A and B are shown apart, each in its own frame.
Chain A
Amino acid sequence: MGPGQRRGDKPLLFLQHLLNGLLAGAYYLLIALGLSLIFSLGGIVNLAHGAFYAIGAYLAVSIGDRLGFGAAVLISPVLVGLLGVVIERLLFRRFYKADPALSLLLTFGLAMVAEQALRMVFGAPPLSWSIPPELRGQIVIGNFIYPNYRMLVLAVAVLCVAGLWFLLQKTPFGRVVRAGVQNPDMVGALGISLAPYMATVAFLGVGLAGLAGVMLAPIFSIHPAMGAEIITSAFVVVVIGGLGSFWGVALAAVIVGLTKGTVTAVGYPQYSEAAIYLLMLLVLLVRPRGLFGERIQRFE
C-alpha cells in the first residue's frame, strides 16, 4: 500500500475488481448464450460467432457515424441477426445431421472469410469510435469509482439474459425450442417444422453477438480480428456452464467473471486469463459435461 492511501482502500479496490470481473462475465455471456443456443439446437459449434461480434461493431460505427449511437444500438444487432438467419438457412442447415467436424471446419472458414472481408472493406487499421458524451462519466462514491458506460453494458447484458430466459421458459416458442433440443425427431413427428425455430434461434444467438459488438465498440479497439479475441473466453464460459444449459452458462459467466476479478484483485492481473482456463480444467475433471450440462441424447 502506498503512503498516501487510506486503510479503507483495499476492500474497496477488491470490490471494484469483482464488479469489473462481473462485467467481463456479462459480455462473455452475451456471446456464450448464442453459442450455446445454436449448438444445443443444431449441434453446430459456431467458431464464426466472434466474427458476428466484430461485424456488429463495424456496423455500429458505420450506422453510428451517420445516425447516432442510439440508432446503432438498435439497428446493428438486427442486421447482424438477419445475416445469421441467411447463413443458417444457406449453410448451417446442411450440417445439422453431419459429423460435427464438418461444421467446425465450415464455421472456422466462415470466421476467416469474415475477418478478411472486414479488412478488405474497412481496412486493417482500427476504426475510431468513442462513448457518446452523454454516457461518459463515472460513478464516484468516496474512493469507489466505476464508469457509467460499463454499468450500462452490465444492465443491457442482464436485460438480455432475462428476456431470453423468459422467451425460452415461458412462451410456446420456448417450449418448442426446448423440445427440439431434446428430440427433434419427436417434434417433427408431432407435425411441427423446426426450420423457422432454427432460423429464429440463429437470429437471436447471432444478434446477441452483434449487440455485444455494438456495446463494446466504444471501449475496445475496433479491428478485423477483434472477434478472435473474445471467442475463446466465450467458449470457456460455455464449456464450464455445460452446453445446452441456460442457467449453467449464465452461472459460468458469473463464476468466470468473479475468478478473473479475484485473481486480479489479489495482485496478479497477468494471470487472470490463465486462471479461467485452469477453472475450466478443474470443472471438466469433476464434471465432464460442465456444471449443468444437460444430457442431450443425440450428442452422447
Chain B
Amino acid sequence: MADEQQQSRRTLIKGAGAAAALGLGGFPFISYGQSEAIRIGHLTPRTGFLGPLGEFAVQAADMAVDEINAAGGVNGRRIELLKEDSVNPQTASTKAERMVERDKVACIVGEISSASALTISQVAERTRTLFINTGANSDELRGKGCKKYMFHIESQNSMYVKTCGRSLMAQNLVKGKKWFSLTADYAFGHDLLRVSKRFMAANGGDFSADKLVPTDVTDFSPLLLEIRNAKPDLVISNLAGNQITNFLKQYSEFGLAFPVAGFGFDTALAWAAGKGNFHGTWPVVWHHLIDTPASKKFVADFTKRYGKPPENQAWGDYNAMKLLAQAMVETKSTDSTRLVEHFEKGAKFPLMKTREGYFRKSDHQMMHEMYTVQGLPPAQVKNPYDIFVSSAPVPGPNESLELIATTAEENECRMT
C-alpha cells in the first residue's frame, strides 16, 4: 500500500511539475497549423544564479518571433518557439535532446552558462542540428570544444578581455601594474582567468593575487578585506551573475578606492547594484544607450512591451532569432546543414550596430563591434538605467573586426 501511495505522490509531484512547466514555458501556438510552423527550441537558464539574465533572453526571443510572424513569418511559415529552463548542464542536454528528437525543432537558440552550452552543443553535433549560442562566453567553446553545428553570437572571452584591455591600457592600468582578480569558480570563470592572464603576460602586467569564488558565495567581505590589504593597482572581476551585483554593492559599502574593471559583464547586474554602487570599466556586446536607429527602435519597443529597457542578453537572443529568420529566407531552407554552409560563406547580419557582423569560418564566432562602459558618478545619474557612459565601438571604423578575437595561434579549434 505504501508503495502505491508513494507512486501516487510521485505522480502528483510530476503532475504539478508539468503544470508548472506548462505555465512557465507556455505553448501559445500549439494548435496553430503544426505541420506548417517552423519550430525553434529556446533553452536558457531561467532559475539559479544566471536566471536574472535568462528572463531578458526569453522576453527578447518572444518579441523577435512575434515581429517575424507579424511580418508574415519565414518563407510563408510561422515560427513557433518552444521554451525551456536549461537549469544545469545535464538537464540542458536532456532537454535539447527532447527538443530535437520529440519536438523536431529546426534548431536550438539560447544558453548563458558555458558549461550547459557545451552539453547542448554535443547534442547538436550528434543530431546535426544548428545551435546558436547567445550568452556563453568561454573561449573553449570556440576552441577545443568548437563544433560544426554550433555558432556564437555572444562574444568570446578573448573579445571581452581585449576590448576592455584596450580601455585599461589607455588608462595606464596594465603595464607594470599589479592586478587583484576575483574569478567565478566554474567553466566560464576559469576560461576567462586563463585569457586575462594571457593578456597581462603579453602586455607587461602582473597578478598580485587571483581568487576563485564559488558561484553561491554572497558575502564578499572577506575578499574585500584581502583586497584592501593587498593594495592592488586594479581590481578585476571575472565574476558572473549575481556575484557581480553582490561584489559591487559590498565594494562600495567597504569604501575601497582602487580602480575596478571587469572582463565579464551584464547590464542587468549593474542596474541591480543601485545608484552610486556601479563604477569602473566593463566590456559589453551591446547596451541600451547605443546610438543607432535599429538599437533605438529595439530599446523603445522592448521598453514599451516589458516596462524596462533591454540589456545585453536581450540583444543576443533577439538578434539570433532575427538572423536565423534572415538566413532561412536567404537559403529558402530550414535545414541545419544548409544554414551552416550559409553562415560559413560569410553571410552578413545587421545586429543593430554601425557595422554588419558575420560568423568567422574558423571558429564560428560572430565578428562584431563591442563597447566598454564606464560607471557614472552618482551625481550624474538621472535614472536607474542610464548609469554609465559608453566608449566608441571597438574595433574602430578602420580596423578589422577580427582584431579583438582570438588569433590563429591562440585558437585551438579543429572543426571536423
Interface residues of A (CB under 8 A from B): 2, 4-5, 9, 13, 16-17, 20, 23-24, 115-116, 119, 123-131, 136-138, 145, 147, 149-150, 218-226, 229-230, 260-261, 264, 269-270, 272-273
Closest chain B CB from A296 CB (angstroms): 27
Closest chain A CB from B177 CB (angstroms): 14
Q: Which of A4, A126, A131 contacts B245 (CB 8 A)?
A: A126
Since A126-B242, A221-B249 are in contact, a sample of 9 more A-B pairs with Cβ atoms closer than 8 Å, ordered by chain A residue number, is A13-B229, A125-B308, A126-B272, A130-B276, A131-B253, A145-B225, A225-B51, A269-B223, A270-B185
B250 an interface residue at 8 Å Cβ cutoff? yes
B214 an interface residue at 8 Å Cβ cutoff? yes
Q: A4-B231, A5-B229, A129-B274 are in contact. Are A269 and B222 (CB under 8 A)?
A: yes
Chain B binding surface, main DSSP class: helix
Interface residues of B (CB under 8 A from A): 20, 46-49, 51-56, 185, 208, 211-214, 216-219, 221-223, 225-226, 228-231, 242, 245-246, 249-250, 252-255, 268-269, 271-277, 308, 311, 384
List 10 A–B pairs whose Cβ atoms lie within 8 Å, in order of A's numbering. Answer: A2-B208, A20-B225, A123-B308, A126-B272, A128-B273, A130-B249, A136-B255, A221-B245, A225-B49, A273-B216
Task: Identify the closest chain A residue to B247 (Cβ).
Answer: A221
B217 & A273 in contact (Cβ 8 Å cutoff) = yes
- Taken together as a complex, chains A and B put the C-alpha atoms of A5 and B229 apart, in Å, by 8
Residues of B within 8 A of A218 (CB): 249, 253
- Taken together as a complex, chains A and B put the C-alpha atoms of A116 and B229 apart, in Å, by 41
Residues of B within 8 A of A230 (CB): 218
Closest chain A CB from B416 CB (angstroms): 38
Q: A126-B272, A128-B271, A270-B214 are in contact. Are A9 and B229 (CB under 8 A)?
A: yes
Q: Which of B20, B46, B52, B275 contacts A223 (CB 8 A)?
A: B52
Residues of A within 8 A of B211 (CB): 269-270
B230 & A2 in contact (Cβ 8 Å cutoff) = yes
Residues of A within 8 A of B255 (CB): 136-138, 145, 147
Residues of A within 8 A of B217 (CB): 273
Q: Which of B218, B246, B254 contacts A145 (CB 8 A)?
A: B254
Q: A2-B231, A24-B219, A229-B218 are in contact. Are A128 and B225 (CB under 8 A)?
A: no
Residues of A within 8 A of B273 (CB): 128, 130
Q: A130-B276, A130-B277, A136-B253 are in contact. Are A124 and B221 (CB under 8 A)?
A: no
Residues of A within 8 A of B208 (CB): 2
Q: A124-B51, A269-B226 are in contact. Are A220 and B246 (CB under 8 A)?
A: yes
Q: A124-B52, A224-B51 are in contact. Are A13 and B225 (CB under 8 A)?
A: yes
Closest chain B CB from A8 CB (angstroms): 12
Residues of B within 8 A of A127 (CB): 272
- Taken together as a complex, chains A and B put the C-alpha atoms of A254 and B379 apart, in Å, by 40
Residues of B within 8 A of A264 (CB): 222
Residues of A within 8 A of B275 (CB): 128, 130
Q: Which of B47, B269, B277 contacts A225 (CB 8 A)?
A: B47
Task: Identify the closest chain A residue to B48 (Cβ).
Answer: A225
